[in-house]
Amino acid sequence: MTVTLRVVLDQLVAPTSRDLAEASTSLAQALIDTAPRGCDVAAITPAPGLPEDAGVTGLAAETRLSMRRRELAASWQLGVAPGIGRGLIHSPTPLAPLVRHDRVNETHQIVVTLWDLRAWETPDELPRAEVLAARALLSRIGKHADAVVVPSHAMAERLAEVAKAKLVAKVRVIGGAPAAGFRVPSDAVGRLRALDLPASFVALTGGAAASDGLAAAFAGLAAGGGDDDIVVLDVPEGEEPAVVELAAAAGIPEARVHARGSLDQWDRAAVLSHARLFVAASTRTEWPWRAVDALALGVPIVARDTAVHREVLADAALYAGENALAAAVARALNEDAERLRVLAGDRAKGFAWPAAADRVWALHAEL
């Protein structure tokens, strides 16, 4: 008898986040490639179903639902999940058909994944409707999920402070990784030119939100970063002027600041491969997607001294509080640059989707 693990792949049909879409694609393919004997992988998708170029091959089946993602999310958040059936369900995001079920007698499992805690840590930085929806969803997760995957022990500890004990007991830690196949493209120089970026710079990520930490990062770069250009990735649409203003407030001329939005993995790899330094400035409890990308490309890293950064980056970064960033930046750009490149490459070996998939299979076997 074949055991089928069904993966919720709404992000491949109607993505709300490039990072979640890449993680969903990478994990689904890794689950297929590492499936134990007698097991296979299927998909659960909203209408209109997986596109031909979804990037996942080898799915045993697809449960294509009649609702589009927005309506499906609203339905599932209310506990209405028609057409799902029973079996093993894994969601690479918090969205899943969370309904009352009997895991033992019905052989029905539901596992979800949390990548950040913004709705609890920095609710003032999000729309009120998004905060309320996230908190309501966590309540359903606590009631109906059989396990909750988080990407770091630091996040598990933080979740324990904001969630009920019943949910905390369900938490398992399985880290993320760069998108499958993430590497420097052969046309990196051309991509950089198309993005109108210089050949060398310091890279950051984030927007105008206080928890993105750009104000402190710009101040540190102004004091310790010399005259390098600065490229800011993942700037939310419309926040580009605010990012430039934050840099100007730190004394960095507008001409040296290049704000860009979310880039696909090839453009992102092209950009990061030309960075002299990556500054992980966020102070939030979340998976540091761009910092892990930087590790994979051997980019020296300076990180805000947080529990998440310490756990994920280990010795492959220099850590600094807000007032010590300038000194750390200066070291990372000069005497520590080569050492950090080597350490980044070594640390990057610890993050791979096949290893995560093995742990997902083990989790469902445990349940």
Structure confidence by residue, pLDDT tens digits, 191-229: 999 999 999 999 999 999 999 999 999 999 999 877 899
Give the residues across from 149 on adjacent strands: 113, 172
Cα atoms in the Cβ-side hemisphere of radius 13 Å centred on 32: 16
Same domain, 168 and 211: no
Residue 256: other Cβ atoms inside 10 A: 19
Which residues, including other chains, have CB under 8 Å from residue 204's CB and lie 6 or more apart? 214, 217, 230, 231, 232, 233, 278, 279, 281
**182: in domain:** no
Whether residues 232 and 120 share a domain: the answer is: no
CA distance 242 to 208: 6
User: What per-residue confidence (pLDDT) applies to 28?
Assistant: 97
Tell me, yes or no, whether 27 and 151 share the same domain: yes
In a domain, 263, yes or no: yes
Do 320 and 225 form a contact (C-beta atoms < 8 A)?
A: no
Residue 159 within any structural domain of the chain:
yes
Each residue of 118-167: pLDDT tens digit? 999 999 999 999 999 898 888 889 888 999 999 999 999 999 998 887 88
225 in the Ramachandran plot: left (φ > 0), alpha (ψ -120 to 50) or beta?
A: alpha
How far are the Cα atoms of 213, 291, 351 from residue 322, in angstroms, in the given order? 9, 18, 28
Q: What is the mean pLDDT of each run of 10 residues along the chain (367 residues)?
A: 93 96 97 96 95 93 93 86 85 91 72 96 94 89 92 96 85 97 96 96 97 96 89 97 96 96 97 97 97 98 98 97 93 96 96 97 92
57 part of a folded domain: yes
Amino acid letter for position 14: A
45 SS3 class: strand
For residue 266, what is the enclosing H or E element?
A: helix 265-273
| pLDDT for the residue 363 | 96
Q: Into how many domains does the chain fold?
A: 2
The verdict on 167 and 34 lying in the same domain is yes
Q: Which residues contact 68 (CB under 8 A, 6 or more apart)?
A: 14, 46, 47, 48
Length of the chain: 367
Please give the structure tokens belonging to residue 64. Answer: 């294509």
- 47 shares its domain with 71: yes
Based on the domain organization, do 13 and 151 belong to the same domain? yes
**Residues 161 and 193 grouped into a single domain:** no
Determine contact, residues 354/33, Cβ cutoff 8 Å.
yes
How many Cα atoms are found within 13 Å in the side-chain-facing hemisphere of 283? 13
- State the pLDDT at residue 164: 81
Residues 62, 211, single domain; the answer is no
Q: Are residues 362 and 325 in the same domain?
A: no
pLDDT of amino acid 293 = 98
Q: Are residues 359 and 324 in the same domain?
A: no
- What is the reported pLDDT for 159? 93
Domain assignment present for 274: yes
Amino acid at residue number 166: K
Contacts for 203 with CB less than 8 Å, ≥ 6 apart: 230, 231, 232, 233, 271, 272, 275, 277, 278, 279, 290, 294, 299
CB 55 within 8 A of CB 12: yes
CATH of the domain at 62: 3.40.50.2000
Q: Report pLDDT for 102.
A: 65
β-partners of residue 39 are 3
222 and 159 inside one domain: no
| Structure token digits, residue 297 | 């490309």
Confidence at residue 82, expressed as pLDDT on a 0 to 100 scale: 77
Sign of the four-CA dihedral 319, 321, 322, 327: negative
Residue 183 forms part of a structural domain: no
DSSP class per residue in 310-364: HHHHTTSSEEE-GGGHHHHHHHHHTTTHHHHHHHHHHHHTT--HHHHHHHHHHHH
- Closest CA relative to residue 117, chosen from 260, 282, 237, 238: 282
Do 165 and 273 lie in a common domain? no
Residue 90 belongs to a domain: yes
In Å, what is the CA distance from 46 to each residue of 21, 67, 70, 262?
A: 14, 6, 9, 24
Would residue 17 count as lying in a domain? Answer: yes
User: 100: domain range?
Assistant: 3-177+352-366
